[in-house]
Structure 1
Amino acid sequence: MSMTPEQATGFKTVVDRLVENVEHVILGKTHVVRLAFTAMLSQGHLLLEDFPGTGKTSLARAMAQSVQGTHSRIQFTPDLLPGDITGVSIFDQKAGVFEFHQGPIFANIVLADEINRASPKTQSALLEVMEEHHVTVDGITHPVTEPFMVIATQNPIEQAGTYRLPEAQLDRFMMKTSLGYPDHASTLRILEGSARPDARELEPVVAGDMVVKLAALARTVHVDPEINDYVSRLVEATRLAPEVRLGVSVRGALALLKASRVFAAAHGRHFVLPDDVKSLADSVFAHRLVLDPEAEFDGVTANNVIGQILIDSPVASRVGE
């Protein structure tokens, strides 16, 4: 059963309210906030490569408050262990059994701060829970609470003592984007004081179970066969581009399609347009590309490659008519 126009209108209303609520805390970053909620409602995860002090923690906390959910923050350091994330089993001497003590990963929105500072073994502890939405400790599976989203951050200017995220883990993130510094007008509002309330003071917009229902509803957005063909051609183009050593995976193609469904519904439409795909291609694809070293030396970026691919890949004009 496909989404109806009335349901699309209701979907847009809820997303607009969520974005507006978060913008009481994160000023002047409407597009990034929309991307974050697109990832959430697509049941995906977000990677933020950003400078310190740009509001990454505030974004995660504000989103959790807006959906009446729980929030946790994990500061990744070289000595962080997998059990510090997932939790551990501790022997209860009185009961004579092992009790599982949940780690900070058991929250609706988890901020993994400076994820590339932890060892690869600790980074990999996130893989199962990000993909499967559960952790396994001592052979026992423990599901996380839905909705569940990981917002991970990387600092682009400090590389000493960091461990580069492997492609397999980067592929687990639906999108990668950046908050960046606020513009002049937003900075003035922040400096004037009281224009930026604490994220913990925000009133919830919807309950957590509503987010799960919206995610299910988004999967009913109509996708024309021409859109599927367009996404497939974009993916193939990333693999054939001479500047690219490793192109976008099938998981990346599915991520773009899922995100496009949510993006369309968030704009009040019950069908996906090529413009939805184009708007999200950079955020969904760029971090999945591995460029040829010579191309990188010449200053080519993944964003450049994707931009050219979008120009060179036409889509049938009848889509959305």
Structure 2
Amino acid sequence: MTPGEQRRPLAPAATLVSRELVWFQRINNYNSDFGIVQAETRVYNRVRVDHACAPVRRGRTHGGVDTGGEARTSAGAMGGHITRNSLYDSMSGPFPSTTHRCHHKPKRWPALPQCGLSSFPLQFHPSTKGSQILMDLSHRTVKRQSSFCNAITFSNRPIAVYEQVRLKITKKQCCWSGALRLGFTSKDPSRIRPDSLPKYACPDLVSQSGFWAKALPEELSDEGTVLSFWVDKKGRVFYRVNQSPAMLFFSGVHMAEPLWALIDVYGLTRGVQLLAAHQDGVVHLALDRPPQHAVQFG
């Protein structure tokens, strides 16, 4: 003690005990109040979620007033009710006007690739054809009458990228040389006059703008042989014999416009048949990428 300072009398034990009781009570009251706030907050949040997830019920209309349209939810300890149109929390304050809807966003599946296949079956063009071509009523089988040329044909509709044009050789004539000429054209066959068609697809027709074709080897002219040919997005034409690996036929086809198939029933090949594009529910499309072993046909 410093000089002049008087010693303060000690507080009675009862007084100390009473002060501790007061502080202890205040702490308990604070904790209790804090617990109530937390509880009310949880109820508040639960009610918001329940309200947002609740389906909207349509009530009966009596006198122009919807009597059952409000979705009421018990507020428990808050002692009130919550309606769809007017929401109040435990502190008598309004809910935010915009509530979050509890719903699931629809899944966005990746867009499927569009191959451009027409709903119409692939057939031969019924009117634009060479002078020696005979066609059946189904427009799927053609045969050359005589000679070895004047037998150019086209498809009846555009061919999609990677769509396989499938042909079966039905007739072979051994007294000639040369074989099928296959390719594509960007000229609509419906706008081509049949009498303007040349005798040969190669080299007469391909020398004109918008026509691309090439001759197949003569050894592929046997009856019963199934040939498939298609064009990819880079303008490369591939072909396949029966189930053999794909072969790179030629390239340089312009892909900016629709393409029709071009088939010249030439030389050794006298008759061909277009096979259905759908067999057992399967659309015949070539692979997106050519096989690594695909080679250039000379």
TM-score, normalised relative to structure 2:
0.22
Higher relative contact order (CA 8 A, sep 6+): 1
Greater helix content: 1
Greater strand content: 2
